[in-house]
Amino acid sequence: MTKLTPILAGIFSLALPVAVPAHHSFVVHYVGERIISVTGVVEEFRFRNPHGIIFVNGTSSDGNSGSWKIETNSPNILRRRGWTDKSISPGDEVIIEGYPARDGSNAMRIFRVRFADGSEMIGQRPSADNE
């Protein structure tokens, strides 16, 4: 019986619902129905799955200044739209529009980035390709 207990417990636990942390959802962490913008200078650009990250020192359209952490959708999706790891560089002056974090922090998911020369790149359009 003693030997059977852990075996039975293992089988039983497989069948029970569990709460396993998952790769984060867009809609749970960001407000998809609202777009804000951040104007500032790029400090760092990372282009790795599951998400790219743009660190910007700037001010949001809501008036929040400081360091912003702006997440892109998957670099794989963006590569097919022409993005590369050289698309954004430290020192670039940018206006980035995106979806604000639900927790109110200086973070958002990108919609698009506009550069000083007037060019722009699309990240995640409203209600599409959330990864």
Partner 1 sequence: MMKFFSQFLGGALLLATGPGSTVAWAQPDDFISRWSGFWSVRFDRAPSGAALLDELPDDVVLIDDAGGGELAAGEYAGLKLSDEALDAIRDYDYAEELLPENACRAPSVAFYMQAPFPMEIYAGRDLIIFRMEYFDLVRIIFMDGRAHPPADALHTLSGHSVGRWEGNALVVETTHIVPGTFMNNGFDHSADLRLIERFLVSEDGSTLSATQVYEDAATFEGRAARYMSWSKRAGEYVLSYDCDPNYGG
Would you count residue 44 as binding partner 1 (CB under 8 A)? no
DSSP labels, 47-84: EETTEEEEEEEEEETTS-EEEEEEE-S-HHHHHTTT--
Q: What ranges in the chain are assigned the alpha helix state H?
A: 4-15, 26-29, 75-79
Mark residues 69-108: x for contact with partner 1 by CB under 8 A, - for none: x-x--x-xx-x-----------------------------
- Which position among 35, 36, 43, 53 is part of the footprint of partner 1 (CB under 8 A)? 53
Q: In whole angstroms, what is the distance from residue 32 CA to residue 109 CA?
A: 9
Would you count residue 16 as binding partner 1 (CB under 8 A)? yes
Would you count residue 114 as binding partner 1 (CB under 8 A)? no
* Binding piece for partner 1, criterion CB under 8 A, among 19-27, 58-66, 81-89, 114-122: 19-27
Taking the complex as a whole, the smallest distance from the CB of residue 116 to partner 1 amounts, in Å, to 26
Q: In whole angstroms, what is the distance from residue 55 CA to residue 65 CA?
A: 13
